[in-house]
Chains A and B, each alone.
Chain A
Amino acid sequence: MGRTDRKITIGHLYPDLLNLYGDRGNIACMEQRCRWRGIDAETIEFNTGDVIDFSKLDIVLLGGGSDREQAIVCKNLLEIREDFQQYVEDGGVVIAVCGGYQLLGKYYKTEEGMIEGLNLVDIYTEQGNGRLIDNIILKSDLAKMPVVGFENHGGRTFLNGNQPFGKVLYGHGNDGKSGYEGVVYKNVIGTYLHGPLLPKNPQICDYLIQKALERKYGPVTLEELDDSQEQAANESICRRYLKE
């Protein structure tokens, strides 16, 4: 198969409501890192009310929004739940950040009430005392480099035994206590890390691209890119916050 025959289609869910914290950076990162390797990349934005054909998608991005906006999204999510679940169970790649991460689970219980989630992964979130806001650094099995980002969440997420995205080296993580952050289920990553997540963590981005390509085209080896700028940005955070 020629280099240029491959194509990744990214579905950006509800950018009209869930667009906090530089989610566009995650899209730009996935698109560019495909294109720089000669892989065609396209992003389709689905706004609330749009019909989503998951069979056309290779990567789904569910971003962060305010609590109020999340409640609006939640109404729409229930309509797509079944298709979305089929996509996930079939190994579809999902990156869900902040509010999007919370929506993956069963529910998000806040003082004002219950936001029902997609129930794609057996996790749940409850509003905690105060927001967890800081830079954050993880060690994840999915990347050699540490994973760096920024977290800002009022919810505490509990994994019910699911595999976390990483171990917290600096920062708060899922609930501020467990020492773990995010969730990995099949080809789904849910995480509180924005910053945005992918540009400073190119190995995570490549992990998503690789999984998406493999699902579509079978085994692939991704071409190496010059990541010196990405590494410098990643290291500058690690240097500041990790002692030793």
Chain B
Amino acid sequence: MRLRRMLAVWAAKLTEKISVHIFHRQGVTWAGKIALQICPSILKELAGQVKKDIYIVCGTNGKTTTNNMLCAALQKEGYRVVCNHTGSNMLNGVVAAFVLSAGIGGNLKADYACIEVDEASTRRVFPHFKPDYMVLTNLFRDQLDRYGEIDITMNILKEVMQSAPKMKVIVNGDDALSAYLAMESGNEFITYGISEKVIDDKDSREIREGRFCKQCGEPLMYHFYHYSQLGDYECTGCDFKRPKIQYDASEIEVGDHLSFTVEGRRIRANYRGFYNVYNILAAYAAARTGGLELTGFNEMLAAFNPENGRMEQFQIQDTKIMLNLAKNPAGFNQNISAVMQDEKEKDIIIVINDNAQDGIDVSWLWDVDFDRFKDANIHSVTVSGIRCYDMGLRLKYVEIPSKVETDVETAIRECVKNGCGNLYLLVNYTALFSTRNVLKKMEAEK
């Protein structure tokens, strides 16, 4: 069926050109949808042409960063890699990644594929191909209206793991939920984690998932927490405990940059945010498990600039701007920690939408520890987006005053004009694309 495949590839490429260049739409899902309609077996066929291995990356937070880093690491070693860079991670987005990488002859020249897959969409992706490796970053509460409770997500992941028994799972051993899933699946698994205590987070009021053992229902006991429910745990009722960590990060330094040691190598990156240690470690463990030497890993990290609104920097006139995605309590709390590592005075704009892709239920805002902003040397807070009033109200109840500005561009211009020159934009999923477009446009103005 090569002809049909070629036709599908052409149609997808044309669709992508129209959707991105004429309609300025982010995302490539239309291209994937059309390709699949023309040639229903296209994903299976193209995935079959990947010469070495297919990685998929799942988990609530860190998928896009981990996946893009893994892709960059493989490319650094000289390989050709298929990757859904933009984070379009449902079936159509996955199809688009393969189709748009194929040549006009309908064939794919790739050594590896690195594909992030939305947890609930794994069910629709796995029938097309069986990955060689799954990276499982973590499981936090996210979009309860869309995914339902975490238990439902876990059941889906277990089902797909068992449908691919040869697939190896590279799992964050510090997350009891992810680790349990890997153990329970029967698939071979490899662990990464952090065995030393970095920040004492035991007294935090942060919401923690899975306080009870998934195996026996008794409470889990923690020797320490890193953040949220990530830490060193042990069941009080049965033999379930944190597995032995194979890729173990130690001597961790967090501040303006990150560094840590794994396998005796010192890893350095110019990012902020403790959670990025996990992202880097996940990508590292995945590539090492796949047999790569990773001699150029630090060099890759130094050049790594995802330009996708994950700690992305902009400069508009005299104002330094940091844009970062924050879409659920665990992610937002980590964002707040990262903001607080910058001791300088700062303006903050928070943009919250409630479109379908964001989750239409915004009650999670109340599970974020915004009261910590009180100690964050804040010059001003502006709330924007469809749910700006909810966000403003959330801050009112921790006695942080905020200004409502429904239009994001006006909010940014106001901060550039009257702010303190150091601006953080924390935005949720659909707000990311529109906010990023505004920043790109403003940056280009002279």
Residues in chain A within 8 A of chain B (CB atoms): 16-17, 19-25, 28-29, 32, 66-69, 72, 131, 133-135, 150, 152, 194-196, 199-200, 229-230, 232-233, 236
Contact = CB atoms under 8 A, between A and B. Distances in A.
Contacts of A21: 144, 361, 363-364
B272 interface: no
A150 B363 contact: yes
Interface in B237-259: none
The A interface is mostly helix, strand or loop, or mixed, namely: mixed
A131 B148 contact: yes
Contact of B366 (A16, A68, A196, A230): A196
B212 interface: yes
Interface string B380-418: 000000000110111011110000100000000000000
Nearest to B211: A16
Contacts of B363: 21-22, 25, 150, 194-196
B367 interface: yes
Contacts of A236: 389
Nearest to A150: B361
Contact of A28 (B144, B149, B397): B397
B394 A199 contact: yes
Contacts, number: 81
A229 B403 CA distance: 11
B397 A32 contact: yes
Contacts of A152: 144-145, 361
B393 A199 contact: yes
Given A22-B365, A28-B398, A66 B151 contact: yes
Given A66-B151, A72-B217, A20 B144 contact: yes
Contacts of A28: 366, 397-398
A200 B396 CA distance: 12
A236 B396 CA distance: 17
B420 interface: no
Contacts of B144: 20-21, 152
25 contacts: A17-B211, A20-B141, A21-B144, A22-B364, A22-B365, A24-B366, A24-B367, A28-B397, A66-B149, A68-B151, A72-B212, A150-B360, A150-B361, A150-B363, A152-B144, A194-B361, A194-B363, A196-B363, A199-B393, A199-B397, A229-B392, A229-B393, A229-B396, A233-B390, A236-B389
B243 to A, nearest CB: 23
B164 interface: no
Nearest to A135: B360
Nearest to B360: A135
Contact of A25 (B145, B148, B394): B394
A236 B404 CA distance: 13
Nearest to A236: B389
B123 to A, nearest CB: 18
Contacts of B390: 200, 233
Nearest to A72: B217
Which interface residue of A22, A199, A229 has the most chain B CB atoms within 10 A? A22
A191 to B, nearest CB: 13
Nearest to A193: B363
B207 interface: yes
Contacts of B398: 28
Interface string B218-232: 010000000000000
Contacts of A150: 145, 360-363
Contacts of A195: 361-363
A196 B361 CA distance: 10
Contacts of B366: 22-25, 28, 196, 199
Interface in B144-170: 144-145, 148-151
B139 to A, nearest CB: 13
Q: Closest 9 interchain pairs by CB? A: A22-B366, A25-B366, A22-B363, A233-B389, A66-B149, A21-B363, A28-B397, A150-B361, A233-B393
B149 A20 contact: yes
A21 B361 CA distance: 9
A25 to B, nearest CB: 3
Nearest to B354: A135
A72 B148 CA distance: 19
Given A22-B363, A152-B361, A133 B150 contact: no
Interface in B320-368: 360-367
Nearest to B404: A232
Given A24-B367, A66-B151, A200-B393, 14 more contacts: A16-B219, A17-B211, A19-B207, A21-B361, A23-B366, A25-B365, A25-B366, A66-B150, A67-B149, A68-B151, A134-B360, A150-B145, A229-B393, A233-B392
A240 to B, nearest CB: 9
Contact of B397 (A29, A131, A133, A232): A29
Contacts of A66: 149-151
Contacts of B362: 150, 195
Interface in B36-74: none
A23 B144 CA distance: 14
Contacts of A19: 207
Contacts of B397: 25, 28-29, 32, 199
A122 B97 CA distance: 55
B383 to A, nearest CB: 10
Contacts of B393: 199-200, 229-230, 233
Interface string B193-213: 000000000000001000110
Contacts of B151: 66-68
Contacts of B219: 16
Nearest to B406: A236
A44 B217 CA distance: 24
B403 to A, nearest CB: 11
A21 B217 CA distance: 22
